[in-house]
Structure 1
Amino acid sequence: MFNSLDLIHILENSNFNGVAWGVVCILFYLCVYFLIIYFRAKDRFYLFYSIYAFVNAINILKYLKNVFFEEFISNYIIFFHHLHFPLQFISYIFFSLFLLEILPFNKRHPLFYKRVYQMVYLLSIIFVLFVIGRYLFDGYYILRGFYFYFIIPLGFFITVYSFLLILKMNDSVKYYILLGMFIISTAAFILAILTFGKGIEAINKYYSIFYISLLVENLLFTYALSIKQREAYLEKVHVQKKYLNQLKENERIKTEQNIKLENELAKKEKELNLVAKKAEEERVAKLKSEFENEIQALHLASLQSQMNPHFIFNALNSIKVFLIENDKEKAVYYLNKFSKLIRKILESSRVESHSLEEELEIITLYHSIENIRFDECIQFTIQKDPNVLISSIKVPPLLLQPFVENAIWHGLMLSKKDKKIIIKVYEENGTVKLCVMDNGIGREKSMELKNKKTYKKDSVGLKMTLERLSFFNKKQNLYYSFYFIDLINDDGNPAGTEVCFTFD
């Protein structure tokens, strides 16, 4: 009958009876499983945990007996012994990075998060140099001393400090992480005491303590990762519902506008048919031409009416934070600016065009509203050539707003540099030009970040602007156009985006 003595015997011979081999198989399975999840979810803690499990599995191989690859291990046992310290170092490194990523260190303790990453890079370089030195000038004892007297004490200090920081965090997985850390640390301490100064027999006898603690730790960490997967799924469902609701609202607005436009078109068609019955061919051709112009005007007005709610909605989001925080002084100040902005937008919605001077006034007000959410950190400059009469140049209302909006939200928002937007108005070869330049992350990087998102949406503002400009050119017999320039610095890296308009 199976008893406790049999269990002790099994554990003491774990390196010979397949227990250790089972632990290795589990670790390899976890490595592959979470590596696959990483490629799907792109969260780095999955990758770090996968590497951590893989390194632990490799480090156990040299202790295994009675396995099909025992002869291979025996032939290269010196190589595996040489890997011992590097593998333990790599294990500590990726365990630390796993903790940094799965828990909100970057939000709660950003300085600690940054310093640990810097320390990881520095220690990795030093350790690699010592490993190389081991073979160049027999620096084994230097490597061993560096590991025992520097890496382990430093790792202990960081672990204790991290433990205290984690206790203060409000995160769903922190207790599983803390319990796993405590179990593996306690087991390592007990194993060190039992095997200190003893030979391989003691290691074989007591190493089951490490195997059991490693399995329990990985069980806890796997459960913590499953919680993170669940949270990501719930967040995905929430975003999907929000996105679907927004689509329904957009569809409703679009349907209402289309019905209104169709009614207008039907009315004009009826008028045209009544006139066409009584007029001669030449008269009918002339009326058709006028009718086409009216359709273009209605289409332009329809596009503009779609653009104004889009613009007002974004502006309201910029000011609502002061109303929520009950900051009356700032709320009144920006409400005054907002009311002036709305008045100009409403005035512009009644006309097909206004002066470039009025357009720049609206953009200046728009920037002041948007800059609220950036703590006034966006420098906004308008440089005008005094020889250019901007009051005489007619443009469609809100022509520049989508480009300034894109510069802020897709270029400057993710930039860590001093944020700048410069608008230049000048004359070149008899043609007036206007350029909107930002020093953000650039269109290529912005598109790369956009493609990584689960849900993507087209730039409605820019599409509407292109269509409005096309109708405006046709109606006014003009050749206004714009083009993009991707700015780069001296090192060949993206340095922002420039949009240039030609008013010809």
Structure 2
Amino acid sequence: MDIGPYTVFYEDNSGDTLPLSAIQKHPFRPFAEKRNERTTFADRSVMVTWLRFTLRNTHPVDTLHVLHKTGVHGFITLYENNRLLGQTGISFKHPNRPSPYALPLTVPPLTERKYFVRVLGYVWHPTRISSELITASAGVAWHFGPGGVAENMLLAGMALLTGWLILMCLYAFYSFLISRDIAYLFYALYTGVSALFSVYSMNYRFSFDLDWLFPPQVSDILGPFHVALISAFYVLFVANLLNVRKGFPRTWRILQILLAVLTIQEIHSIAEWIHRRPLFLNNAVYIYAMVPSALATGILLVINFQSRSPIRPYLATGLSSLLGVSFIPGSLDLYFHDTSALADAFFNYPQFWIILGLAIESFCFMLALAYRGRRIELENRRIQERYTHELETQLGERTQQIEQQSRLLEQQHIRQLETEFEKKLADTEMTALRAQMNPHFIFNCLNSIKLYTLQNDPEQASDFLTKFARLIRLVLENSRSEHVTLRNELEALQLYIELEAMRFKEKLRYQIHVSPEVDPQYLRIPPLLLQPFVENAIWHGLMHKPEGGTVTVEVRQPQDNLLHIEITDDGVGRARAAELKSKSASKHKSFGMQVTADRIRMINRMYNIRTTTQIEDLVDSYGEACGTRVTLTIPV
């Protein structure tokens, strides 16, 4: 019996903060003036509606036993004559009650009772509040009538969709364990959370006890699974299939922002599940909660059309179904008036639309994964065939290369023997050249000793012999090595010049300058390389000048791997020396210079370097010859 015409109501906009005593002071309005909660959006997320009606039992002996039914709501509290009579709702278990959301009333004979009913609903899609009286037998009969059949068919349909989601989750997770493909893991998480959301929605709608399936602690955990978490997993899944991270980097940054928003929404949902009520009173937070999910779906749909992926048709169908079947009807909260009980059960239940869209999308995504796996299999087969062909080709080429390399190795072995022979020959020539330098140098020194002996000058002869002994020791030590330090070479050169200066009395002067950047103890050069040039400057440049002259040796290092040595004299120059044809000049035909030139040529050849010698004739401001400069450039 519909007792709406005999019921008055009051909407509590305080957010469920007023007790019954305060509510009784507010004016109640006729039930006919109450809005349809199912078809209108409320401004607040917590909606409290109070109902008031009076029952009078006029029968003299019979007691009235009835159930008061208001519909499916979060909390339903019944007061009888200001006394709490009972509570029911989604969060209450009532296994023995004929109608789960109805509370029993008992009115003795010839008695009148006043009742207050507090109906508390949450967020943006509550069911319509009714005021009906039914008997226990009518509650049982309702399950076999049109309404009960429709609800049972809705339950069967949602159970089939839930079973499909669970099956896809298990299949995808098994595929991930086999292939380790991250796309299967995202798909398994997406379908698994969707199945849990569907189970929770069925329990919300039909209030069946899940203890036969899960322990109470597990079934209670299903509460925080929100559409945001489902959306986050399918965004990751589709983005992985379309390779959005690399193919569309700018769009991927937008999707990352949306994923962060979805994560925040899921955290908000968990917090509300713990708090057991909405955290925001403004209902717009919940009305537009699906906007981030719909926006992410639309972006993925656009990317899918822009991509060249062969699975585009499957993804397009799945994303379109999710957008058109789940998000748009769910966000608009569509309601169809004046429909049959069956149509009303299916079409006016938002969770059914969401789960139907998820199931269709999961089916399309599974087809996409299957087609993707088939293409990967074909591609692997093509790669295997191509790899086999390449191996055969490479084997043939390798065989030819081995034959060619065998012939090349024989030729290289012959060339190696020739190179080793040439190197040994060059080493022998270098040794012979160094051996030629030593007697030539000693011969010149002995001539000087002979001169002091003939002059009967014992002190000078002793000093000369001391320096000559040191010089001979250095020459013998240096001649054993292919390279000596610059310090040893300059010390031997200084001893030689001092011996020659003693012979020429005061006619020969010398200067040796070493730049600060040069490290004489570290740098190494061929031995006896500088002495022939200094000797040539003394004998061919300075001996023709009556007053004598100066020999200057400058050592610089302009680069880390390059050494410059300049030997300068202020003698008569090469042209004048050639004209004089003196006896001294005829006796010293630059044997040391020729040997040094041959040594430089051998050094360049053996060590593959470029040691160069440059000789310049110096002239004064009048154009007269005033000396010679020899520049040696030695790689170090």
Q: Same-fold call, TM > 0.5? A: no
Calculate the TM-score normalised by the size of structure 2. Answer: 0.35
Which structure is higher in strand share?
A: 2
- Structure with the greater alpha carbon radius of gyration: 2
Which structure is higher in helix share?
A: 1
